A and B are shown apart, each in its own frame.
Chain A
Amino acid sequence: MTDHDTLDAQLESFHRIQMPMAARSQVDRRVGRALAEQANGARASRPWSRLRRPTILAVGLLVALGSLTAVGAPTQVFRLELGSLDKDQRTAAEINAEIEMTKAVTPVAPDYVYPDLRVPEFNEDGSGNIYGVGNGLTMVEANARCGWYAYWLAAVARDDLATMTRAQAMIETFPTWASIADPRMATQSVRDHEASLIAAVQARDPNPIRADQVNNCGG
Protein backbone atom coordinates (compact mmCIF):
# COMPACT_ATOMS: atom_id res chain seq x y z
CA MET A 1 0.00 0.00 0.00
CA THR A 2 1.43 3.41 -0.97
CA ASP A 3 1.60 6.50 1.27
CA HIS A 4 -1.24 7.94 -0.77
CA ASP A 5 -3.45 4.90 -0.24
CA THR A 6 -2.71 4.82 3.49
CA LEU A 7 -3.50 8.50 4.03
CA ASP A 8 -6.62 8.23 1.88
CA ALA A 9 -7.87 5.27 3.94
CA GLN A 10 -7.06 7.07 7.19
CA LEU A 11 -8.96 10.18 6.10
CA GLU A 12 -11.93 8.10 4.94
CA SER A 13 -12.05 6.35 8.30
CA PHE A 14 -11.53 9.56 10.28
CA HIS A 15 -14.47 11.30 8.63
CA ARG A 16 -16.85 8.33 8.94
CA ILE A 17 -18.84 10.07 11.68
CA GLN A 18 -22.29 8.79 12.62
CA MET A 19 -25.14 11.01 13.71
CA PRO A 20 -26.54 9.82 17.07
CA MET A 21 -30.04 8.39 16.68
CA ALA A 22 -31.66 10.92 19.01
CA ALA A 23 -30.06 13.82 17.11
CA ARG A 24 -31.21 12.35 13.81
CA SER A 25 -34.71 12.03 15.16
CA GLN A 26 -34.74 15.71 16.17
CA VAL A 27 -33.39 16.85 12.80
CA ASP A 28 -35.98 14.65 11.04
CA ARG A 29 -38.79 16.31 12.97
CA ARG A 30 -37.56 19.86 12.38
CA VAL A 31 -37.20 19.27 8.67
CA GLY A 32 -40.56 17.51 8.50
CA ARG A 33 -42.17 20.46 10.22
CA ALA A 34 -40.43 22.92 7.89
CA LEU A 35 -41.68 20.92 4.89
CA ALA A 36 -45.23 20.87 6.21
CA GLU A 37 -45.18 24.60 7.03
CA GLN A 38 -43.73 25.52 3.65
CA ALA A 39 -46.26 23.34 1.82
CA ASN A 40 -49.12 24.75 3.84
CA GLY A 41 -47.84 28.30 3.35
CA ALA A 42 -47.79 27.80 -0.40
CA ARG A 43 -51.36 26.63 -0.33
CA ALA A 44 -52.56 29.32 2.08
CA SER A 45 -52.92 31.80 -0.74
CA ARG A 46 -55.78 29.74 -2.17
CA PRO A 47 -58.89 31.96 -2.14
CA TRP A 48 -61.62 31.07 0.35
CA SER A 49 -64.13 31.61 -2.43
CA ARG A 50 -63.13 28.26 -3.91
CA LEU A 51 -64.38 26.40 -0.86
CA ARG A 52 -67.65 24.61 -1.19
CA ARG A 53 -70.55 25.91 0.88
CA PRO A 54 -70.80 22.78 3.09
CA THR A 55 -67.12 23.23 3.94
CA ILE A 56 -67.65 26.83 5.00
CA LEU A 57 -70.59 25.76 7.15
CA ALA A 58 -68.51 23.00 8.72
CA VAL A 59 -65.72 25.46 9.49
CA GLY A 60 -68.16 27.84 11.12
CA LEU A 61 -69.59 25.08 13.27
CA LEU A 62 -66.17 23.90 14.36
CA VAL A 63 -64.97 27.41 15.18
CA ALA A 64 -68.15 27.94 17.19
CA LEU A 65 -67.40 24.79 19.14
CA GLY A 66 -63.99 26.22 19.88
CA SER A 67 -62.03 23.08 19.17
CA LEU A 68 -61.03 20.91 16.30
CA THR A 69 -60.83 17.19 16.64
CA ALA A 70 -57.97 15.48 14.94
CA VAL A 71 -58.08 11.82 14.09
CA GLY A 72 -55.02 10.11 15.53
CA ALA A 73 -54.05 6.47 15.47
CA PRO A 74 -57.13 4.23 15.42
CA THR A 75 -59.51 5.29 18.23
CA GLN A 76 -57.03 7.93 19.41
CA VAL A 77 -58.51 11.44 19.53
CA PHE A 78 -56.70 14.70 20.09
CA ARG A 79 -58.21 18.09 20.81
CA LEU A 80 -56.33 21.28 20.17
CA GLU A 81 -55.55 22.95 23.49
CA LEU A 82 -56.43 26.49 22.49
CA GLY A 83 -59.07 25.86 19.88
CA SER A 84 -58.44 26.71 16.25
CA LEU A 85 -58.06 29.77 14.09
CA ASP A 86 -59.03 30.18 10.46
CA LYS A 87 -55.39 30.17 9.46
CA ASP A 88 -54.99 26.74 11.09
CA GLN A 89 -57.56 25.06 8.85
CA ARG A 90 -56.50 22.68 6.12
CA THR A 91 -58.20 20.75 3.35
CA ALA A 92 -57.98 16.98 2.91
CA ALA A 93 -55.51 17.40 0.03
CA GLU A 94 -53.24 19.51 2.22
CA ILE A 95 -53.41 17.03 5.07
CA ASN A 96 -52.70 14.12 2.72
CA ALA A 97 -49.61 15.98 1.46
CA GLU A 98 -48.58 16.63 5.07
CA ILE A 99 -49.00 12.92 5.83
CA GLU A 100 -46.67 11.88 3.01
CA MET A 101 -44.04 14.42 3.99
CA THR A 102 -44.15 13.49 7.65
CA LYS A 103 -43.93 9.78 6.83
CA ALA A 104 -40.78 10.42 4.86
CA VAL A 105 -38.95 11.90 7.84
CA THR A 106 -40.43 10.04 10.82
CA PRO A 107 -38.30 7.24 12.27
CA VAL A 108 -40.18 3.95 12.31
CA ALA A 109 -39.46 0.62 13.97
CA PRO A 110 -37.94 -2.11 11.77
CA ASP A 111 -40.50 -3.71 9.46
CA TYR A 112 -43.20 -1.26 10.54
CA VAL A 113 -45.73 -0.46 7.81
CA TYR A 114 -48.16 2.43 8.18
CA PRO A 115 -51.87 1.75 7.73
CA ASP A 116 -53.65 3.80 5.09
CA LEU A 117 -53.80 7.24 6.74
CA ARG A 118 -55.24 9.28 3.89
CA VAL A 119 -58.18 11.44 4.90
CA PRO A 120 -61.26 11.86 2.70
CA GLU A 121 -62.24 15.16 1.14
CA PHE A 122 -65.95 14.53 1.52
CA ASN A 123 -68.18 12.66 3.93
CA GLU A 124 -70.45 9.92 2.66
CA ASP A 125 -73.30 12.41 2.55
CA GLY A 126 -71.26 14.66 0.25
CA SER A 127 -70.48 17.34 2.83
CA GLY A 128 -66.94 18.64 2.86
CA ASN A 129 -64.41 17.82 5.53
CA ILE A 130 -62.05 20.33 7.06
CA TYR A 131 -59.00 19.58 9.13
CA GLY A 132 -56.58 21.47 11.36
CA VAL A 133 -52.93 22.29 10.79
CA GLY A 134 -50.77 19.43 12.01
CA ASN A 135 -53.49 16.78 11.82
CA GLY A 136 -51.49 14.80 9.27
CA LEU A 137 -48.31 15.07 11.28
CA THR A 138 -50.19 13.99 14.42
CA MET A 139 -51.61 10.90 12.73
CA VAL A 140 -48.26 9.81 11.30
CA GLU A 141 -46.35 10.33 14.52
CA ALA A 142 -49.04 8.63 16.63
CA ASN A 143 -48.94 5.56 14.38
CA ALA A 144 -45.13 5.52 14.34
CA ARG A 145 -45.10 5.66 18.14
CA CYS A 146 -47.52 2.73 18.26
CA GLY A 147 -45.08 0.83 16.05
CA TRP A 148 -42.16 1.53 18.38
CA TYR A 149 -44.13 0.40 21.44
CA ALA A 150 -45.14 -2.80 19.61
CA TYR A 151 -41.49 -3.34 18.67
CA TRP A 152 -40.49 -2.93 22.34
CA LEU A 153 -43.26 -5.32 23.46
CA ALA A 154 -42.09 -7.97 20.98
CA ALA A 155 -38.53 -7.60 22.33
CA VAL A 156 -39.83 -8.02 25.89
CA ALA A 157 -41.62 -11.21 24.85
CA ARG A 158 -38.35 -12.56 23.42
CA ASP A 159 -36.35 -11.23 26.39
CA ASP A 160 -34.18 -9.49 23.78
CA LEU A 161 -32.39 -6.92 25.90
CA ALA A 162 -30.44 -5.31 23.05
CA THR A 163 -33.58 -4.58 21.04
CA MET A 164 -35.44 -3.39 24.15
CA THR A 165 -32.64 -0.93 24.83
CA ARG A 166 -32.63 0.36 21.25
CA ALA A 167 -36.40 0.76 21.24
CA GLN A 168 -36.31 2.50 24.62
CA ALA A 169 -33.75 5.02 23.33
CA MET A 170 -36.20 6.03 20.60
CA ILE A 171 -39.27 5.93 22.88
CA GLU A 172 -37.56 8.33 25.28
CA THR A 173 -37.42 10.93 22.49
CA PHE A 174 -41.23 10.91 22.07
CA PRO A 175 -41.89 13.92 24.36
CA THR A 176 -39.89 16.04 21.90
CA TRP A 177 -41.95 14.93 18.87
CA ALA A 178 -44.05 17.78 17.55
CA SER A 179 -47.36 15.97 18.03
CA ILE A 180 -46.60 15.66 21.74
CA ALA A 181 -44.59 18.81 22.45
CA ASP A 182 -46.62 21.32 20.41
CA PRO A 183 -49.64 22.59 22.38
CA ARG A 184 -51.54 23.07 19.10
CA MET A 185 -51.49 19.31 18.67
CA ALA A 186 -51.59 17.78 22.13
CA THR A 187 -53.10 18.63 25.49
CA GLN A 188 -51.27 18.19 28.77
CA SER A 189 -53.25 14.98 29.34
CA VAL A 190 -51.81 13.54 26.13
CA ARG A 191 -48.33 14.50 27.31
CA ASP A 192 -48.99 12.96 30.73
CA HIS A 193 -50.25 9.77 29.09
CA GLU A 194 -47.12 9.54 26.96
CA ALA A 195 -44.93 10.15 30.02
CA SER A 196 -46.66 7.29 31.84
CA LEU A 197 -45.97 4.95 28.91
CA ILE A 198 -42.32 5.95 28.84
CA ALA A 199 -42.07 5.37 32.59
CA ALA A 200 -43.52 1.88 32.05
CA VAL A 201 -40.92 1.14 29.38
CA GLN A 202 -38.14 2.36 31.66
CA ALA A 203 -39.50 0.15 34.44
CA ARG A 204 -39.75 -2.80 31.99
CA ASP A 205 -43.47 -3.06 32.80
CA PRO A 206 -45.27 -4.24 29.64
CA ASN A 207 -48.83 -4.07 31.02
CA PRO A 208 -49.53 -0.35 30.41
CA ILE A 209 -48.02 -0.69 26.94
CA ARG A 210 -50.23 -3.69 26.13
CA ALA A 211 -53.28 -1.76 27.32
CA ASP A 212 -52.31 1.25 25.20
CA GLN A 213 -51.86 -0.98 22.14
CA VAL A 214 -55.43 -2.20 22.60
CA ASN A 215 -56.94 1.19 23.46
CA ASN A 216 -55.04 3.53 21.17
CA CYS A 217 -53.21 1.55 18.55
CA GLY A 218 -55.94 -0.64 17.14
CA GLY A 219 -54.15 -3.75 18.39
Chain B
Amino acid sequence: MTTQITTAAGTDVGVDIDGDDALARRAATDLRAFSPLYTRHVDRVYRYLRSRGQAPEDAADLTAVAFERAIVGIRRYESRGAGFAAWILRIARNAAIDAERRRRPTVAIDDLPDGHHPASTQSPETTALAAEERRELAGRLARLRPLERDAIALRYAGGLTSAQIGAVIGKSESATKKLLTRSLATLREETR
Protein backbone atom coordinates (compact mmCIF):
# COMPACT_ATOMS: atom_id res chain seq x y z
CA MET B 1 0.00 0.00 0.00
CA THR B 2 1.40 3.33 -0.91
CA THR B 3 0.38 6.13 1.38
CA GLN B 4 1.41 9.59 0.43
CA ILE B 5 2.73 11.57 3.39
CA THR B 6 1.05 14.90 2.97
CA THR B 7 1.87 18.21 4.52
CA ALA B 8 -0.06 21.42 4.51
CA ALA B 9 2.07 22.09 1.46
CA GLY B 10 0.54 21.53 -1.94
CA THR B 11 2.35 20.21 -4.97
CA ASP B 12 4.36 22.28 -7.39
CA VAL B 13 1.86 24.26 -9.40
CA GLY B 14 4.30 25.83 -11.82
CA VAL B 15 5.26 29.43 -12.24
CA ASP B 16 1.73 30.87 -12.16
CA ILE B 17 3.04 34.41 -12.32
CA ASP B 18 -0.33 36.11 -11.94
CA GLY B 19 -1.41 34.16 -8.87
CA ASP B 20 2.01 34.54 -7.29
CA ASP B 21 2.13 38.26 -7.85
CA ALA B 22 -1.27 38.77 -6.26
CA LEU B 23 -0.20 36.71 -3.24
CA ALA B 24 3.14 38.52 -2.96
CA ARG B 25 1.40 41.91 -3.02
CA ARG B 26 -1.02 40.74 -0.36
CA ALA B 27 1.81 39.24 1.73
CA ALA B 28 3.42 42.70 1.93
CA THR B 29 0.62 43.71 4.30
CA ASP B 30 -0.73 40.32 5.44
CA LEU B 31 1.92 37.62 5.89
CA ARG B 32 -0.68 34.89 5.85
CA ALA B 33 -0.57 35.20 2.07
CA PHE B 34 3.08 34.16 2.13
CA SER B 35 2.36 30.56 3.14
CA PRO B 36 0.98 29.46 -0.25
CA LEU B 37 3.95 31.09 -1.97
CA TYR B 38 6.25 29.05 0.25
CA THR B 39 4.46 25.78 -0.42
CA ARG B 40 4.44 26.40 -4.17
CA HIS B 41 8.14 27.15 -4.44
CA VAL B 42 10.02 25.36 -1.65
CA ASP B 43 10.78 22.22 -3.69
CA ARG B 44 11.92 24.29 -6.67
CA VAL B 45 14.38 26.20 -4.47
CA TYR B 46 15.77 23.02 -2.87
CA ARG B 47 16.15 21.31 -6.28
CA TYR B 48 18.02 24.32 -7.63
CA LEU B 49 20.38 24.50 -4.65
CA ARG B 50 21.14 20.77 -4.86
CA SER B 51 21.79 21.19 -8.58
CA ARG B 52 24.36 23.87 -7.72
CA GLY B 53 26.25 21.16 -5.84
CA GLN B 54 25.13 21.97 -2.33
CA ALA B 55 25.10 19.00 0.07
CA PRO B 56 21.59 17.96 1.18
CA GLU B 57 21.87 19.57 4.64
CA ASP B 58 23.34 22.77 3.19
CA ALA B 59 20.67 22.90 0.48
CA ALA B 60 17.94 22.56 3.11
CA ASP B 61 19.61 25.23 5.26
CA LEU B 62 19.96 27.61 2.32
CA THR B 63 16.35 26.94 1.29
CA ALA B 64 15.26 28.08 4.74
CA VAL B 65 17.62 31.08 4.55
CA ALA B 66 16.17 32.10 1.18
CA PHE B 67 12.61 32.07 2.49
CA GLU B 68 13.60 33.80 5.73
CA ARG B 69 15.13 36.59 3.65
CA ALA B 70 12.06 36.66 1.41
CA ILE B 71 9.77 37.06 4.43
CA VAL B 72 11.78 40.04 5.62
CA GLY B 73 11.97 41.53 2.12
CA ILE B 74 8.49 40.77 0.79
CA ARG B 75 7.50 44.43 1.07
CA ARG B 76 10.18 45.23 -1.49
CA TYR B 77 9.02 42.53 -3.93
CA GLU B 78 8.68 43.64 -7.54
CA SER B 79 7.76 41.15 -10.23
CA ARG B 80 9.39 43.05 -13.12
CA GLY B 81 7.72 40.54 -15.42
CA ALA B 82 9.71 37.61 -14.04
CA GLY B 83 7.44 36.60 -11.16
CA PHE B 84 7.93 35.27 -7.67
CA ALA B 85 9.74 32.10 -8.82
CA ALA B 86 12.56 34.15 -10.33
CA TRP B 87 12.62 36.46 -7.29
CA ILE B 88 12.94 33.64 -4.75
CA LEU B 89 15.51 31.79 -6.88
CA ARG B 90 17.57 34.98 -7.15
CA ILE B 91 17.54 35.22 -3.34
CA ALA B 92 18.50 31.52 -3.11
CA ARG B 93 21.28 32.00 -5.66
CA ASN B 94 22.69 34.96 -3.72
CA ALA B 95 22.53 32.95 -0.49
CA ALA B 96 24.33 30.06 -2.19
CA ILE B 97 27.00 32.37 -3.63
CA ASP B 98 27.55 33.84 -0.14
CA ALA B 99 27.85 30.35 1.33
CA GLU B 100 30.15 29.16 -1.44
CA ARG B 101 32.45 32.12 -0.84
CA ARG B 102 32.82 30.94 2.75
CA ARG B 103 33.48 27.33 1.78
CA ARG B 104 33.68 25.23 -1.32
CA PRO B 105 30.62 23.12 -2.17
CA THR B 106 30.91 19.86 -0.29
CA VAL B 107 29.24 17.76 -2.99
CA ALA B 108 29.92 18.14 -6.69
CA ILE B 109 26.96 17.91 -9.04
CA ASP B 110 28.25 14.59 -10.40
CA ASP B 111 28.12 13.17 -6.87
CA LEU B 112 24.36 13.64 -6.52
CA PRO B 113 23.32 10.32 -5.01
CA ASP B 114 20.65 8.25 -6.68
CA GLY B 115 18.74 8.20 -3.40
CA HIS B 116 17.74 11.79 -3.94
CA HIS B 117 15.93 10.97 -7.15
CA PRO B 118 12.47 9.41 -7.19
CA ALA B 119 12.46 5.68 -6.61
CA SER B 120 12.44 3.77 -9.85
CA THR B 121 9.86 1.13 -10.70
CA GLN B 122 11.97 -0.15 -13.58
CA SER B 123 13.91 -3.39 -13.76
CA PRO B 124 17.38 -3.54 -12.14
CA GLU B 125 19.01 -3.55 -15.61
CA THR B 126 17.08 -0.46 -16.72
CA THR B 127 17.78 1.23 -13.40
CA ALA B 128 21.50 0.49 -13.71
CA LEU B 129 21.51 1.89 -17.24
CA ALA B 130 19.70 5.03 -16.06
CA ALA B 131 22.21 5.46 -13.22
CA GLU B 132 25.09 5.14 -15.69
CA GLU B 133 23.43 7.69 -17.99
CA ARG B 134 22.99 10.05 -15.04
CA ARG B 135 26.66 9.75 -14.04
CA GLU B 136 27.69 10.39 -17.61
CA LEU B 137 25.39 13.43 -17.85
CA ALA B 138 26.69 14.71 -14.51
CA GLY B 139 30.21 14.56 -15.90
CA ARG B 140 29.20 16.60 -18.93
CA LEU B 141 27.40 19.17 -16.76
CA ALA B 142 30.44 19.47 -14.51
CA ARG B 143 32.55 20.43 -17.52
CA LEU B 144 30.29 23.37 -18.43
CA ARG B 145 31.28 26.86 -17.32
CA PRO B 146 29.68 27.89 -14.00
CA LEU B 147 27.23 30.36 -15.58
CA GLU B 148 26.18 27.80 -18.19
CA ARG B 149 25.66 25.20 -15.49
CA ASP B 150 23.70 27.71 -13.43
CA ALA B 151 21.42 28.53 -16.37
CA ILE B 152 20.77 24.84 -16.94
CA ALA B 153 19.98 24.34 -13.24
CA LEU B 154 17.60 27.32 -13.24
CA ARG B 155 15.91 25.92 -16.35
CA TYR B 156 15.58 22.29 -15.34
CA ALA B 157 15.62 22.34 -11.52
CA GLY B 158 14.04 25.76 -11.12
CA GLY B 159 11.62 25.41 -14.03
CA LEU B 160 12.23 28.97 -15.23
CA THR B 161 11.82 30.41 -18.71
CA SER B 162 14.67 32.19 -20.50
CA ALA B 163 13.30 35.58 -19.50
CA GLN B 164 13.09 34.52 -15.84
CA ILE B 165 16.60 33.01 -15.89
CA GLY B 166 17.84 36.30 -17.33
CA ALA B 167 16.23 38.16 -14.43
CA VAL B 168 18.01 35.86 -11.97
CA ILE B 169 21.48 35.99 -13.50
CA GLY B 170 21.28 39.60 -14.68
CA LYS B 171 21.21 39.07 -18.45
CA SER B 172 18.73 39.97 -21.18
CA GLU B 173 16.30 37.34 -22.43
CA SER B 174 18.07 37.09 -25.79
CA ALA B 175 21.49 36.74 -24.16
CA THR B 176 20.08 34.06 -21.86
CA LYS B 177 18.57 32.18 -24.79
CA LYS B 178 21.98 32.20 -26.49
CA LEU B 179 23.62 31.02 -23.27
CA LEU B 180 21.16 28.14 -22.92
CA THR B 181 21.44 27.18 -26.59
CA ARG B 182 25.24 27.16 -26.35
CA SER B 183 25.16 25.13 -23.11
CA LEU B 184 22.78 22.55 -24.55
CA ALA B 185 24.83 22.34 -27.74
CA THR B 186 27.96 21.68 -25.67
CA LEU B 187 26.18 18.96 -23.72
CA ARG B 188 24.87 17.41 -26.94
CA GLU B 189 28.25 17.66 -28.64
CA GLU B 190 29.92 15.70 -25.86
CA THR B 191 27.60 12.73 -26.37
CA ARG B 192 28.93 12.24 -29.89
Contact = CB atoms under 8 A, between A and B. Distances in A.
Nearest to B184: A7
Contact of B6 (A100, A110, A162): A110
A104 B43 contact: no
Contact of B71 (A3, A24, A31): A31
Given A24-B42, A104-B35, A14 B50 contact: no
B4 interface: yes
A35 B117 contact: no
A15 B67 contact: no
Nearest to A25: B7
Interface on chain B toward A: helix, strand, loop, or mixed SS?
helix
A17 B47 contact: yes
Interface residues of B, number: 51
A23 B56 contact: yes
Given A7-B184, A31-B71, A105-B8, A162 B1 contact: yes
Interface on chain A toward B: helix, strand, loop, or mixed SS?
helix
Contacts of B5: 21, 107, 109-110, 166, 170
A20 interface: yes
Contacts of B184: 4, 7
Interface of B: 1-9, 31-32, 34-36, 38-39, 42-43, 46-47, 50-51, 56-57, 59-60, 63-64, 67-68, 71-72, 112, 116-118, 130, 133-134, 137-138, 141, 152-153, 155-157, 184, 187-188, 191
Interface of A: 3-4, 7, 10-21, 23-24, 26-28, 30-31, 34-35, 38-39, 42, 97, 100-101, 103-110, 160, 162-163, 166, 170
